[in-house]
Structure formats: structure tokens, C-alpha cells
Amino acid sequence: MSIEFCIETTGGRARAGRLTTPHGEVETPVFMPVGTAASVKGVPQDILEELGVQILLGNTYHLYLRPGIETVRNLGGLHRFMAWPRAILTDSGGFQVFSLNELRKVTEEGVTFRSHLDGSSHFFSPESAMAAQIGLGADIIMAFDECTEYPADRARTKASMELTLRWAERSKKYFQEHKQEVPWKAVVSGQGSGVSENQQSDHWPLSTDHCLTQSLFGIVQGGMDLDLRKESAERTVEIGFPGYAIGGLSVGEPRDRTREVIEATLEYLPADKPRYVMGVGTPEEIVEYASLGVDMMDCVMPTRAARHGLLFTSEGKISIKQARYAQDAGPLDPDCGCRVCQRYSRAYLRHLYASNEVLAQVLNTLHNLSFYLDTMRRVRHSIQLGEESRFLSGIWSRQKP
């Protein structure tokens, strides 16, 4: 085993647990900030550590195009390249290929697509997506899947689900045969890496209690069809993975439908394995999904919204660009303990945004990330205290007595 997952407390369907990876422990349920191109936009890694981030998500598609897998591998893998000693999860590249490429061509073998950067032609297969993720060396990597578009009829959804299942088999087979090629294996044994002796210091402790390999998670598809979701879940579990993701959501469907699909699919995923819902959601949604028994989530929402001046607070969403904040000397969120809310006024944040200062993006992102991470900390705390009803009714109204 390359990861260990242990559930410490349950409250209703919610679980509070601990995921042990080769690069440290992750308390679950967890929200994973997205570091698309080996960077959570605007936030240095030491600050991410201070915020308590235990696991980051990297996008294989973006890193494959730039700087390239071989470059990252030669520099010792993604952890070392981006100077992030804690856990990382990479997606398979599938979702970006489907969402950023209108000219993609899907065959049984894989997907041909054009780079959104320069229009050059590329090909991803389950095998090459695994090779890329092994080269990047994240702790958790994802099977190559087809993200079914929305809406899709039943025949199309079924065909897409079947393709994802065949690709899951191929992903697992390639991973089993090549998982020893992870770059930090080479670093640990002192061979095959371009990293200098100097960099191979104690700054990058790897737990020796666990076999130093990556873990490959399977992905459930099946569109918005609950029967197909059940079938996809059961057959993915049959293939066998140390963790399972629910993919193909947040693709334009109504939010009630998202919840329904998550709830229906979770029933068929093993209770003792981590369950990851990809690409969700708002603060309310991540609380709700955690209450249903989801352990891991990721979303660009807090970071992307921040760059557009949209800030999540205990009093709801704020658009800091509004003129009403120009004279507001109060903190962004009086209930937030983050460094931004402790130090700066709404008027100053509004001024930075209106003046298009780089600092606006940095501070806004810091607050939104803190807000998401705090929200999940409260969820974990509530589960541990057995306060299921309190967080079900909305953590959101969190510190309010």
C-alpha cells in the first residue's frame, strides 16, 4: 500500500479520517486547492503551508504542455520542482482535454487534441496519461477517463461509461507495470535524477513507514443517469483501486442533480476507501457533500472567484469591486481569522481591486482559500464532536451562537 486511509469518527454518513501519503498526512474531509500549473495562483508555497494546506491538486494537461513532463521528472518530480513537501494529487488530463478542446477526436485508443497554447497536436491514451502522472510523481494519481458531456442521452452516456471502464483497466495495468518509475524513488535511492546532491537533503523527508509508491484512484462516470452511475461504481470497484472519485459533475447540470448523483453513487463505493468528488463546489456545497460522506474535493472556485473580486464570507458572497465598500473601514469578514481580515479594511481591498493592483489578487485569494480551509476544519470538528445536525443545518451559519 502506498496510502493508508483510516476513519476516526463518523457522524451520520459523514466521516472524519486521516489519509497517510508518502508526503505526509491529510485530515479528511479535505478541500484541495488547485495549483493548475504547479502554482496556486498568487500564493507562495510557504504561505500555503501556513494556511494548513495538506494536499494540493496539479493539472497534468497543463504541466504536460508547459513545462513538459520530462522537465519536471528531470528536476526530481513535481514536489521538488515546485518546492512543495506535502501531498499532491494530479488529475489525468482527461477533464481538460474535454473542457478546453473543441476539436478533440476520441477513439478507442485515446484522445487527439490541440494545445490551447499554440494549437499543436497531441495525443493522450490511458497509458500516456499514466506515464505523464508517474513522471510528475504526485502521491495520488487518477485513471484516464472520458468526462461525459452534458446533456447526453442514455446510449451516449452508456457508451462513454463503457469506454471509461476499459480505460480504467488499461490505466491500472500500465500503472502496475511502471509505478516503480516515480521520480522520487530515484531521488531516494540517489540515482537517475538530475537533482544535485545539495538538493537531496533532509528538506524532503519521505515517510519510511510506507512503501514509497503512488496510488492510482479509479473514476466513476455515468453522466446524470443513476442506474449507469451504480453500474459504473460497481464495475470500477471490481477493477479495484485504493480510492474512488466521482467524475463528470459540475459540467452544467443543475446543482440539485449534482447532489442527487453524488448521493446515489456514494452508496456503491466501499466505505473503507477514500471518496473524492472532482471539481466541486461552493462553501455550502462542500459542507453538504462532506455530510453525505465525501472525503476529498477540489475546485478552482475560491481562487478563480478571488481574482474576480468575489469573496466568500460568513455573511455570504461579497463583490469587493462595489462602490459601497469604498469608505468601509471594517474587515472583509469580521468572523474570519485570516491574515487579510486581521489586517486590511474592505475599503483598502476595494481600492486595490479598482486600481488593478497585483496585491488585490493575492489578498483576495488568501482570504478565499482560508475561508474554504476553515470551513472544512469546522466540518471535521463538528464530525468529531458528533454535531452532525449542526453542520448539516449549515456550517455556514458557523460561529453564530
- Residues binding Zn ion (CB under 5 A): 336, 338, 340-341, 367
DSSP 106: E
By beta-carbon proximity to Zn ion, the closer residue of 277 and 320 is 320
Report, in Å, the least distance between residue 398 CB and Zn ion. Answer: 13
Q: What distance in Å separates the CA atoms of residue 211 and residue 227, rounded to the nearest whole number?
A: 37
By beta-carbon proximity to Zn ion, the closer residue of 19 and 306 is 306
By beta-carbon proximity to Zn ion, the closer residue of 38 and 332 is 332
Report, in Å, the least distance between residue 339 CB and Zn ion. Answer: 8
Rounded to the nearest angstrom, the gap between the alpha carbon of residue 206 and the centroid of all alpha carbons in its chain is: 22
By beta-carbon proximity to Zn ion, the closer residue of 178 and 339 is 339
Which of 274, 269, 210 has the alpha carbon at shortest distance from 242? Answer: 274
3-class SS of residue 162:
helix
Q: What distance in Å separates the CA atoms of residue 148 and residue 78, rounded to the nearest whole number?
A: 29
Report, in Å, the least distance between residue 55 CB and Zn ion. Answer: 21
304, three cell numbers: 478563480
By beta-carbon proximity to Zn ion, the closer residue of 43 and 245 is 43
Contacts of 63 (CB under 8 A, 6+ apart): 37, 38, 69, 72, 78, 90, 132, 136
Amino acid at 127: E
> Which residues lie across from 345 on neighbouring strands?
331
Report, in Å, the least distance between residue 354 CB and Zn ion. Answer: 20
Contacts of 148 (CB under 8 A, 6+ apart): 156, 157, 160, 161, 221, 222, 223, 248, 251
Report, in Å, the least distance between residue 289 CB and Zn ion. Answer: 23
State the catalytic residues: 91, 298
Q: What distance in Å separates the CA atoms of residue 363 and residue 359, rounded to the nearest whole number?
A: 6
Report, in Å, the least distance between residue 106 CB and Zn ion. Answer: 43
Strands of the sheet containing 215-220, edge to edge, are 30-32, 296-298, 275-277, 244-246, 215-220, 140-142, 87-90, 55-58
By beta-carbon proximity to Zn ion, the closer residue of 342 and 389 is 342
By beta-carbon proximity to Zn ion, the closer residue of 60 and 370 is 370
Are 336 and 318 spatial neighbours (Cβ–Cβ below 8 Å)? no
- What does the CA dihedral 192, 194, 198, 201 come to, rounded to 10 degrees? -50
Report, in Å, the least distance between residue 364 CB and Zn ion. Answer: 10
Question: What values do phi and psi take at 258, rounded to 5?
Answer: -55, -50
Q: What distance in Å separates the CA atoms of residue 344 and residue 314, rounded to the nearest whole number?
A: 17
Question: What values do phi and psi take at 359, rounded to 5?
Answer: -60, -30
Beta strands 121-124 and 111-114 are antiparallel
